[in-house]
Chain A
């Protein structure tokens, strides 16, 4: 078996004394920056790059990769504890994870997230090892028209995220799409909605919006009710998930892993599409969908495993094709060049020790993450018993520094404050922020691919139905639309009665 000998080579490299140490440093740093709101892996990896000059290339890349998936791991901790998505992909985890924390189940949520992530990481690593080249070929089949249809499907799925009014969720998605359009239009080079501000020519970053709408908005909401009300129940029941919880999360974890693994391969919205489509799927499959948004354990297990799986498989386009599927991967390419390694398709044959070593290190890293994080859960939960009047100024300071550090731009900090007010306003009007954020992420990609597809087809819209991938995705979208609309119409009537009673 070639795979086995390859894996053997890989583990030989990954478990070599110094490499395992750097892997540990990487995931530790990653967890740290993931937990601290706003400080993202891009800024961290960029600044730590020079420090890796002295290391051998394999160790350096193993460490940098560890920062990346460690951060996506740590991000969920913040999401669950203080309703702050440390990373975009943990937006969905906020929905049920923070509810669980509020009900005193923070430990359970964190535990399920950790175990689910580990499972997902293991499966995804195996997938990468076994099928990286064919999966990469599959990703290449996606043309602009197919991406557009995928975005349509993604947006429809986003509607399901909302647990309140459907029509308001749709409006929030459209608003998100519009906010996403701020900045330079790729096709014409025209700067839109920047009001003459050069800082807005590249649009609004996801950081300021997520920090503002989720973080700052939530802090104001918590404070206005006075601190007499416990923000998070300090009465913690069950530090770790019990067998019942694990049984309940098994299938959601498996489904999340598969969805995440697949979507992670596609350059673009990989982890985020993965995490919320996994959530959507669980909500649709659940016997009682109304539990979602109120602390359903599946609502943590599925998206967490999906986003971790996607974080692993997003290495596939990088390692096999040299295509960066997100800014972190672009940075990894830079890191390779700085270390004198030419990234691209030839890596696998030219540098098998690096290729397989990195893959094996992902599993090692995921294992280290669990070992590192399970004991930490107790500490995180204790952090919640800290008085809120000391906790929130700390969160604010971390957010300020974090938002600034994304682009070293003061404008981002002001934007975050502005979105903080908007988030507060949304709360007053019962408008949910998660669909907005997804619209915001997907909107620019949707427009870009729509116009690119039409440019390539010379204006012929038939391209969306004649390309098999695109057509399939659109058919699934229509089916999803029907599934979403039917119960919603029924439910609307029921809810009217419930509220009266």
Chain B
């Protein structure tokens, strides 16, 4: 295992070292389309990558936001872009799986060629400081007693937060109410003002509101460095490691070697110490799912999402 990781890291390092010699790609600015509005997590991540991209490749990475339909607008246009490696688009899970299940969108999950997944933000249950729920156990007890009077704010309908809430209900054995908001920024005021009981969101929200909110549980593999006291769902008896995954994809017509090159570049960006520190401060957990590991990773994620989507009544 260690050997394998060493090899992957070594390969990426070699690739980054050999870049000047192999001037084939990239030899002009690369455009990274972000399917969400500026200021969101995907946009912030991309803009932090921008500087490191230039440092590693010597070329600019232009971030262009193409927001619309929760990302679906851009993703349905991805395959009509030139497949030369200079058009790269941010991709997100579970969006890519959930949206086609729901219908309404003009792409299929398998249409999108993902080349790398580089970060994720784990699901987290967040309450405000004044909340009577001190621990996850308190919340479960309250939810069982009060059922739909317990309300969870989340971003969007049939979204990652919605899916997480469905899972949570099953885990708690309760029927709490999900209250959708337009975005994470919108729900903060309702959470802090006590208009909802809790928020089903990501650890990033808790970080942004540190001192005003408590995290009851996170859906990460291990406890988070920034929240060492917060238990994971795994510890609490649920098989739940999930969140919003961010990566990038290219048009279908992009040749194999370019796909690998793109993956290598983003892999090396993730290794930059300064970048790592900034991402950690922002609450992003870095992962390194390279192009060769994508099929297995996607298969595993897809299965988890489809199971949860069945609970929501989205998929049969």
Question: B192: which A residues are within 8 A, CB to CB?
Answer: 140, 321, 323
A338 to B182 CA separation, bound complex (whole angstroms): 23
Smallest CB separation, B3 vs chain A (Å): 35
Which of B148-156, B215-223, B260-268 lies at the interface with chain A?
B148-156
Q: Which of B174-206 contact A (CB under 8 A)?
A: 177, 179-183, 185-186, 188-190, 192-196
Q: Which of A287-317 contact B (CB under 8 A)?
A: 317
**Interface size class, chain A:** 35 or more
Cβ of A385 under 8 Å from chain B: no
Q: Is B39 a contact of A334 with CB atoms below 8 Å?
A: yes
Q: Is A198 a contact of B193 with CB atoms below 8 Å?
A: no
Which of A165-173, A324-332, A427-435 lies at the interface with chain B?
A324-332
Per-residue CB proximity of B90-113 to A under 8 Å, as 1/0? Answer: 000000000000101110000000
User: A337-B282, A344-B212, A456-B195 are contacts. A317–B39 as well, Cβ < 8 Å?
Assistant: no
Cβ of B236 under 8 Å from chain A: no
Q: Is B157 a contact of A187 with CB atoms below 8 Å?
A: yes
Per-residue CB proximity of A456-484 to B under 8 Å, as 1/0? Answer: 10100000000000000000000000000
Per-residue CB proximity of A374-418 to B under 8 Å, as 1/0? Answer: 000000000000000000000000000000000111000000000
Interface residues of B, CB < 8 Å — how many? 56
User: A331-B39, A344-B208, A345-B211 are contacts. A198–B47 as well, Cβ < 8 Å?
Assistant: no
Question: B44: which A residues are within 8 A, CB to CB?
Answer: 334, 337-338
User: A187-B157, A331-B38 are contacts. A53–B73 as well, Cβ < 8 Å?
Assistant: no
A409 to B76 CA separation, bound complex (whole angstroms): 14
Smallest CB separation, A138 vs chain B (Å): 10
Q: Which of A178-199 contact B (CB under 8 A)?
A: 184-189, 191, 198-199
Question: A97: which B residues are within 8 A, CB to CB?
Answer: none
Smallest CB separation, A495 vs chain B (Å): 42
Q: Is A191 a contact of B195 with CB atoms below 8 Å?
A: no
Question: A140: which B residues are within 8 A, CB to CB?
Answer: 189, 192-194
Q: Which of B104-136 contact A (CB under 8 A)?
A: 104-106
Cβ of A9 under 8 Å from chain B: no
Q: Is B38 a contact of A143 with CB atoms below 8 Å?
A: no
Q: Is B208 a contact of A186 with CB atoms below 8 Å?
A: no
Q: Is B180 a contact of A198 with CB atoms below 8 Å?
A: no
Q: Is B208 a contact of A343 with CB atoms below 8 Å?
A: yes
Question: B39: which A residues are within 8 A, CB to CB?
Answer: 46, 324, 327, 330-334
Question: A334: which B residues are within 8 A, CB to CB?
Answer: 38-40, 43-44, 47
User: A198-B106, A337-B282 are contacts. A342–B210 as well, Cβ < 8 Å?
Assistant: yes
Q: Is B195 a contact of A198 with CB atoms below 8 Å?
A: no
A46 to B208 CA separation, bound complex (whole angstroms): 20
Per-residue CB proximity of B205-239 to A under 8 Å, as 1/0? Answer: 00111111000000000000000000000000000
Q: Which of B274-306 contact A (CB under 8 A)?
A: 278, 281-282
User: A46-B65, A342-B207, A458-B148 are contacts. A186–B104 as well, Cβ < 8 Å?
Assistant: no
Residue of B nearest to A142 (CB): B193
Cβ of B37 under 8 Å from chain A: yes
Per-residue CB proximity of B33-53 to A under 8 Å, as 1/0? Answer: 000011110011001101100
A143 to B190 CA separation, bound complex (whole angstroms): 7
Question: A323: which B residues are within 8 A, CB to CB?
Answer: 185, 188-189, 192
User: A50-B50, A344-B212, A346-B211 are contacts. A186–B182 as well, Cβ < 8 Å?
Assistant: yes
A23 to B177 CA separation, bound complex (whole angstroms): 46
- Option from A49, A267, A345 in Cβ contact (under 8 Å) with B186: A267
A458 to B37 CA separation, bound complex (whole angstroms): 32
Cβ of B252 under 8 Å from chain A: no
Smallest CB separation, A403 vs chain B (Å): 15
Residue of A nearest to B34 (CB): A46
User: A198-B68, A409-B68 are contacts. A344–B211 as well, Cβ < 8 Å?
Assistant: yes
Residue of B nearest to A187 (CB): B180
Q: Is A324 a contact of B185 with CB atoms below 8 Å?
A: yes
Question: B151: which A residues are within 8 A, CB to CB?
Answer: 455-456
Cβ of B72 under 8 Å from chain A: yes
Cβ of B64 under 8 Å from chain A: yes
Cβ of B57 under 8 Å from chain A: no
Q: Is B180 a contact of A186 with CB atoms below 8 Å?
A: yes
Cβ of B271 under 8 Å from chain A: no
Cβ of A141 under 8 Å from chain B: yes
Question: A455: which B residues are within 8 A, CB to CB?
Answer: 151, 177, 179
Q: Is A452 a contact of B179 with CB atoms below 8 Å?
A: yes
- Option from A142, A186, A340 in Cβ contact (under 8 Å) with B281: A340
A330 to B66 CA separation, bound complex (whole angstroms): 16
Question: B156: which A residues are within 8 A, CB to CB?
Answer: 186, 189
Smallest CB separation, A443 vs chain B (Å): 14
Question: A15: which B residues are within 8 A, CB to CB?
Answer: none
Question: A189: which B residues are within 8 A, CB to CB?
Answer: 102, 156-158, 180
Question: A241: which B residues are within 8 A, CB to CB?
Answer: none
Cβ of B69 under 8 Å from chain A: yes
Q: Is B209 a contact of A322 with CB atoms below 8 Å?
A: yes
Question: A408: which B residues are within 8 A, CB to CB?
Answer: 64-66
Q: Is B148 a contact of A201 with CB atoms below 8 Å?
A: no
User: A50-B50, A142-B193, A322-B209 are contacts. A342–B281 as well, Cβ < 8 Å?
Assistant: yes
* 5 A-B pairs with least C-beta separation: A189-B157, A201-B69, A46-B38, A330-B39, A140-B193
Interface residues of B, Cβ cutoff 8 Å to A: 37-40, 43-44, 47-48, 50-51, 63-70, 72-73, 76, 102, 104-106, 148-149, 151, 156-158, 177, 179-183, 185-186, 188-190, 192-196, 207-212, 278, 281-282
Offer 11 A-B interface pairs, CB within 8 angstroms, sorted by A.
A49-B47, A50-B47, A50-B51, A189-B180, A201-B72, A323-B185, A330-B38, A331-B38, A334-B44, A342-B281, A452-B179
